[in-house]
Structure 1
Amino acid sequence: MAVERIVIIGAGQAGAQAAVSLRQGGYKGAITMIGAEEAPPYQRPPLSKAYLKGDLDEARLYLRPAEFYESQEIALHLGVHATGIDRKAKAVSTDDGETHLYDALLIATGAPPRRISAPGADLTGVHYLRTLADSDSLRPMLAAPGRVVIVGAGYIGLEVAAVARQAGREVTVLEMAPRVLARVASEPVSAFYESLHKNAGVDLRLGAAFAGFEGEGRIHGARLQDGEVIECETALVGIGAAPEVSLAVTAGLDVENGIIVDEHARSSDPSIFAAGDCTNFPSPRYGRRMRLESVPNAIEQAKAAAANMLGNETVYDALPWFWSDQYDVKLQTVGLMEGHDDLIVRGDPAEKKFAVWYLKDGKALAVDAINDPASFAMGKKLIMTGATLDPAKLADTNVDLKALA
């Protein structure tokens, strides 16, 4: 059956990339994109960094100017929520009363922040960060009096802590784990970021058992389970994200830690694809299923989904990579460290320029490069080629990385 109508649920990075890729691939049919926010598709990473600081205006966040979608005949339905998928009728209903018919459907609904269920979670001044509106509502704290408490020492929490400290705010970060970035980074990387934030004046509490927020109408404190109350005027909750799968569940698609898709980004319904943070996909490279929250994953999986909606059999197997900006430090990560049997630190963390290499059977699995773009670039190459590496030479900064290839 010819694909004449494609509907995309989600107007984020994956949804926008899919629409662009469809047109670049020569697709002439109808494309409808449904987005819950009023803004056209935009970049999310700057929301906790440059945009939050005020260094980047809203228009520069947009992935494409609004006119682009009109010129490409991509129908944007913004400020609208998809409310249901009728697989039999191949129709998507929305909360403005419309029904959008499809021959192929892409779900790109992302992964919103996990909500906290502690007492006081609904007080004014308690924030989450995912959308433009979230960042806009958080920004006044940079110029306001009083302490900022951040619950969770993941990337979002630490990035906001850095921005707040650079704006002169007093900041306390509460982390239940014994180290920061415990879920995604190794001990040397965690230790570096702990020192970085403490040296910047952040009150970093590790192994901190959070109990709830206090206040009447507005937050005035964060209480720990040992009874201590930390006075604050603003709080950010950054305890991870959960894939948005409610539409998929209601539609009867296979779901487990994300929408289950195959290597072609196709769901359990052959007419429905999914891409980005909301998917659970098989990685030929790593030989297991995974769910990734990253811009590069959203972009590359959306490209594969677009190609396959047009009848191709493109296998999605991109090498994962990520980044984070905090203070004057850029972290670039390539690959996934899970399963490594050797860890090599190349360079001196005290100099704020080093890389942590993760090896398995002598081959590079992943690299965390901190202010070290050369290690990031070479890490990509060495992971892709599967070259066997000499750990002693890898650790020796006098040995040119290019000589290891």
Structure 2
Amino acid sequence: MELQAKLAILADAAKYDASCASSGSNARHSLGGRGIGSTEGMGICHSYAPDGRCISLLKILLTNHCQYDCLYCVNRASSNVPRARFSADEVVQLTLDFYRRNCIEGLFLSSGIVKSPDFTMEQVVEVARALREDHDFCGYIHLKTIPDASPELIARAGRYADRLSINVEMPTTDGLQALAPEKDESAIRRSMARLRLQIDDAREERKRVVPIRALPGATPVATKPPPFAPAGQSTQMIVGADATDDRRILATSATLYGAYRLRRVYYSAFSPIPDAARALPLVAPPLMREHRLYQADWLMRFYGFEHQEIVSASNGLLRLDVDPKMAWALAHAERFPVDLNRAPREMLLRVPGLGVKAVERLLQARRVRRLRAEDLRSLHVPARKVLPFVVADGHRPAAGDAARAAQQLRAPAPPVQASLF
């Protein structure tokens, strides 16, 4: 098969994986004449999910042959799709060629499982090794690791990759057993725990700089051991392929963040696939649900919210018409309005419309004078969203302002495609 035909198949096969981002990687670049590639600046391809979502990250599979038969996966063993397989050298050359054309900022590499987990992982690691050592590639590399692969191979992957990821696939054990019975949740968790220990150990070791002398009387040179997956690890879970509600999904995410110190949990709304199994839903969940989960995830990571307080509905689902912080504020009207001049940082972060940077600016400004409603605009804060929930000098919201603001800010109904005939 020609390389272009392989690329068409294996790039399309990777579009369902959303867990790919270069945030948090070391700032490497080719200035000074050493190496090629960069983890900074622009230059990236886009992948498109079948429902039209634009995923601004390059993703490619080493192969879409797979010995597993996960029901939600288009590349499962029983799926009737065209198959292809790259060699390690072909992936290396494609990465270098696309980067030289300013099409990508690096490589995200995943793979189906062929022959054995160790055989597949060895091929994935060889791609990263060749890029780093043979071609001095300085760009971003994200490798999808295989939980059943040997610890030695995963340790080698961490030496070359900026980020490693292991997908938990489903939010619950029951969901994984029902839709991917060949996958072992305990093996996935063991691999994630092992990765956390290796990442933590490498960071601690790099903090201990060892001075050495090249020659007698020379200036000591500080050397550090090589980094290990400096951008950490991430994971992805599928939303809407089973009946798991948002409350349980966020609880699983909170456990993953706490136990394995993940950099990101990605949520991928289930998309119906060709020749789908009967156990899967026929209709995809609304994409807004995925968006709301990302917003709720942000609240847990940066705004001090606990996972159990974000979802208040009895059905365990996030509201789709307003964002999770607005929904929380409407459900806790007794906590508002908040005094901008006296409230602590923790409460200011719960005001709809106030982000982390805006709260820091407000705290700095009120050290020198009392805040007024007009100050929100000068601090680039969305006053229309904030004012119904706060008190400031010369301003106090009227009864019902919060509900009216929420009504005005409701998510619009999705557009309907007009018919030509």
Q: TM-score by structure 1 length?
A: 0.30
RCO greater where, 1 or 2, for CA within 8 Å and sep 6 or more? Answer: 1
Q: TM-score by structure 2 length?
A: 0.30
Higher strand share goes to which structure?
1
The structure with the largest alpha-carbon Rg is 2
Higher helix share goes to which structure?
2
